[in-house]
Amino acid sequence: GCVLVVSVIEQLAQWHNSTVKAAVERLCDYIPGKYQIIHHIIDKEMNADVVCHSLRLCKQDPGQPLCHLYSPPKLHHLCELMHPSTFIFLPLQKSFMGFSRVCAFPPLANLCEKIKYVLRNKLPFEDFDGDKFSTFPTLRGYHWRGRDCDDKNTTVYPGRRPDNWDAKSDSNCNGIWGVDPKDGIPYEEKFCKGADSKGVVLLGDSAGAHFHIPPEWMTVMQMSAKSFANLPMAFSDELDWPQFSEITGFLNSTIGGWTDSLYLRLRKRNHCNHRDLQNISQNGIVYFPINMAPYLSFSLARNQLLDNPAIVVYATIGNDVCNGERDTLAHMTTPKEMLSNVVQALQYLDSHLPNGSHVILTGLVDGRFLWDNLHDRYHPLGQLNKDVTYSQLYSFLDCLQVSPCSGWLTPNETLRNLTSERALQLSNVLKEIARSEKFANFDIFYMDFPLRQTAEEWRKMGGEPWQLIEPVDGFHPSQIAAALGTGITWQKALHEWPQVLGKENPFNDQIEAIFKDQGGH
C-alpha cells in the first residue's frame, strides 16, 4: 500500500513538474475527504521501495528476501537511510502506522465496522426486515441481490412466488401487481402464470464478484478529481462491481466495456424474472470447504416452499489452485477434496432449492493465459517511466506472499504448467459430478470456462488478448471478457440445455407497458 501511494505521488510530481508537497496536495484534492501525508522524505529522490522501508511501513523479515517493486536503489540512497539526519523521521513513524490502521481513523471507523459485518456475514448491512434483501446499493445491498421493494416486511422480497397473484401489492418485487380492470384478472396471474419464472444465483470468487481497481487511480496521465469520484462506493463494495458482472450484472458499465449478463438475458426472455438475482461471491474464497452447508444456510436466500426455482452457477474459476504460498502446489485443492466438498454442498442445495431448479458447474480457467499475454507489458504504475512490467509486479507480490496466484503469476514455466494440470484435474471432477450425480430438486450441468472462445471472439472484433485481463491486478477477467463470456455461455445453454433458460414470455411487451405506467423500467 505504501509503495503504491508513494509511487503515485512521485509520478504526479514528475508529470506536473511540481514539488512533492504540491503533488501530495493535488492527490488530496482528488480524493474525497482530506488526508495528510508526510512528504519530506520523498524529497530525497528515493524510489517508493526505499521511502517505505525508511518509514518502517515495509520491512524485511529475517531469512526472507528484500521485496521491491522497482529496480534496487543506488548505493548512495541506501547510505542516506543510515545517515543521522534520516532519523528525524522516526517520530513520524507512529503517525504513519496510526494512519495505516485505517479503521482507527475516525471518519472511517463507522464504515469499517459496516464492512467487517458484510465481510463476515455476506449479507446486506442495511436490511431492516431481515429477509436478506436491501434498498441500499452497497455493503452487500442491491448491487449484490435484487432490490427489496418493502424493507419493513419480511414476506416481501425478490424471487418469491406471488402472494394471491399480487392482486393488492407486489410481494416479489418484480413490478407486476394489481388487477386488470377490463377482466378482473391480476396482472401477475395473466402474464406470469406458467411462464417458468426463475432467478439466478452465483456462488463465486473474486472473478464472479467482478473485482476491479480503476486504472485511473494510479495512472497519473489520466488522473483528475473525477478519477476518484467512485472511490467511496468502490470500497463499500469491497472493490467489487457485481452490478456489472457476467452473471448478475444489471446496470450499464461505468468501468469500460459494456454490461451483458445471464440475469439481463433471463429478464429479457421473461420480464417476470425482474430483480431475481443473488451474487454470493467473495474475494479470495474457496467455495466448497468442508463446512460449506452452514455458510450457504446463512447467505443463500431461497425458500424451498415459497420461492421460484433458481439457476445456481458455481464458478470459482481459480481459487482451488490459486494461493500466495511459497509451496503453492501443497496448498491446492486435491481432486479427492474437490469431489467430497462439492457433493456435500450440492446435497445441501438439494434440500433447500425449490423443485425445478438448475445447477451449472463451471470449470477452472487455464491461467497460463495471464503470463503469456501480460508479463512483458508495462503495468499502469510503470507506463510513465517504462519501469514496472507485470513480471516485476508479480514478483513483488509473490515476495510479499500476497500473490493472488503464485502458480500462474510466475516466470517458472514448469510451475505454471503444473498449476494448469491441477486445474484441469479439478475441472474433470466437476464434469464427472455433472455426468453421474442425480438430485431430486435440480438437474446439473457442466461447462468449461470459455476463455479460449472469448479470446477468439475478441480477436474477430479487432481486440488484443491482454485487454481481456484487468489492468491493475493483472489477474481477473476484465469488463470486456465478462460481457463476451456471457454471450458464449448463453449460446451454449440455448443449444444444449434450453430447459435451463425457460421459454420466452409472450407478454413481455404488456409487462413493459405496466412498468412504464408505474414510472419504472
Give the catalytic positions in this structure: 206
Q: Are 367 and 318 in contact (CB under 8 A)?
A: yes
Q: Is 221 left (phi over 0), alpha (psi -120 to 50) or beta?
A: alpha
User: Would you call 111 exposed, middle or buried from its count of C-beta atoms within 10 A (0-12, 13-18, 19+)?
Assistant: middle
Rounded Cα distance, 430 and 363, in Å: 7
User: Would you call 189 exposed, middle or buried from its count of C-beta atoms within 10 A (0-12, 13-18, 19+)?
Assistant: middle
Q: Which residues pair with 378 in a beta bridge?
A: 389
Q: Are 205 and 316 in contact (CB under 8 A)?
A: yes
**Dihedral through CA 44, CA 49, CA 52, CA 57, nearest 10?**
-170
Residue with cell 445491498: 141
DSSP helix/strand/coil, 470: coil
Q: Which residues pair with 358 in a beta bridge?
A: 311, 443
Helices (H), 31-105: 48-54, 75-82, 93-100
Nearest to 449 by CA among 392, 367, 505, 384: 367
Q: Are 142 and 263 in contact (CB under 8 A)?
A: no
465's grid cell: 488478448
